[in-house]
Amino acid sequence: MARILVVDDEQEVCDMLKKFLTKRGHGVYTALNGEEALSIVKEERPHIVLLDIRMPIMSGMECLKLIREIDKEVGVIMITAVKEEEIGKQALELGAFDYITKPLSLKYLEDCLMVKLLQMTA
């Protein structure tokens, strides 16, 4: 259905999301850091990026800026470890489509993806 890139510095988080999204019929790439994520964005042009904010070396926010430079169309959904309104707001200003707090509701994520994909195909 769609190409989705999951970026999280924890392998287990990537695995869990990959399992869920694959079951939903999406093509899933995973990246453990910002740099890896950027090269996948360049090469694979995913429709959606699920991007963790708290990551070592390159933070999610930095990564978001660079992704947007590469691809203005890609839908980025930020995933934050804790509810931080301020950071959420910033992310939206930087062009993120939404932000979700961990532990996330997969139902919410599914709805969110649907909305974004509909927007993109419209």
Partner 1 sequence: MKKKHILIVEDERIVSADIKMSLQRFGYAVSGTAVSGEEAIKKAEKLRPDLVLMDIVLKDKMDGIEAATLISSRFDIPVVYLTAHADDKTLERAKITDPFGYLLKPFDDKDLHTTVEMALYKHKMGKNLKESEERYRTLFEESRDAIYIVSQEGKIVDFNQSMLDLFGYTREEMQGMDLSKIYVNTDDRKKHKEKMEKRGFVKDYELKLHNKNGKEMNCLLTCAVRRASDGNISGYQGSIHDITARKRAEQVSIKAKNRAEKALRQLRKVQTRLIQSERLAALGELSAGVAHEINNPLHIISGHAQILLMDGGLDSEIEETLKIVEKQVERASRITDQLINFSKRTEPEIKELDINEALNNTFVLLKHQLAQDNIKIVKQLYSEPVYLHADPAQLQQVFLNLITNASQSMPEGGTLTISTCVRDSDVEINFTDKGCGIPRKNLNRLFEPFFSTKEKGAGLGLSIIYGIIQAHEGSIKVKSKVGEGTTFTIKLPVRKRAIK
DSSP 8-state code for residue 61: H
DSSP E strands in the chain: the ranges are 3-7, 27-31, 48-52, 75-80, 98-101
Residue 25 sits in the site that holds partner 1 (CB under 8 A): no
Residue 72 sits in the site that holds partner 1 (CB under 8 A): no
Is the CB of 103 or the CB of 118 nearer to partner 1? Answer: 103
Query: Which tokens go with 79?
Result: 């995933």
Q: How far is the CB of 14 from partner 1 (least distance, A)?
A: 10
Determine the Cα–Cα distance for residues 113 and 122; give it in Å rounded to an integer. 14
Is the CB of 12 or the CB of 43 nearer to partner 1? Answer: 12
Query: Is the distance from CB of 68 to CB of 91 less than 8 angstroms?
Result: no
Residue 36 sits in the site that holds partner 1 (CB under 8 A): no
Determine the Cα–Cα distance for residues 121 and 101; give it in Å rounded to an integer. 27
Residue 83 sits in the site that holds partner 1 (CB under 8 A): yes
Is the CB of 2 or the CB of 80 nearer to partner 1? Answer: 80
Is the CB of 38 or the CB of 55 nearer to partner 1? Answer: 55
Determine the Cα–Cα distance for residues 67 and 49; give it in Å rounded to an integer. 9
Footprint of partner 1 (CB under 8 A):
10, 12-13, 16-17, 19-20, 23, 54, 81-86, 102-107
